[in-house]
Amino acid sequence: MPCSGLGAGTEAAAPAPRSLGRALHTSGAPPAGHNKWSKEKHIKGLRDAERSRLFQKLAMLLHFTRKAGGPNPDFNTNLANLTEQCRSMGSWLQPF
């Protein structure tokens, strides 16, 4: 019988493995766009921005007050007053 062109020791390629189970689709249909977060993010974003500005302002005031009068609130009355002011705002700064 004539040779088919393949060498004497070559074997045919194995068939591709079959998928077991369901296929994983990484790109599905987009969400409908009507969820609670789509409404809440506008309110929360404004509130978080306001809190961020307040935290930054208080942090700068604490830094400069500590630098000017020292780190001990017993000897630095401005620092003691500012820390009390920050603590009184604590209830307002709690997450909603």
pLDDT tens per residue across span 14-68: 666 666 666 666 666 666 666 778 788 888 899 889 989 988 999 999 999 999 9
Residue 54 lies in a domain: yes
Residue 22 buriedness (CB in 10 A; 0-12 / 13-18 / 19+): exposed
How many domains, the chain?
A: 1
Residue 28 lies in a domain: no
How far apart are alpha carbons 20 and 60 in whole angstroms? 60
Residue 26 lies in a domain: no
Residue 43 lies in a domain: yes
pLDDT at 88: 85
Residue 4 lies in a domain: no
pLDDT at 38: 78
Contact at 8 Å (CB) between 25 and 42?
A: no
For 58, the domain range is 36-88
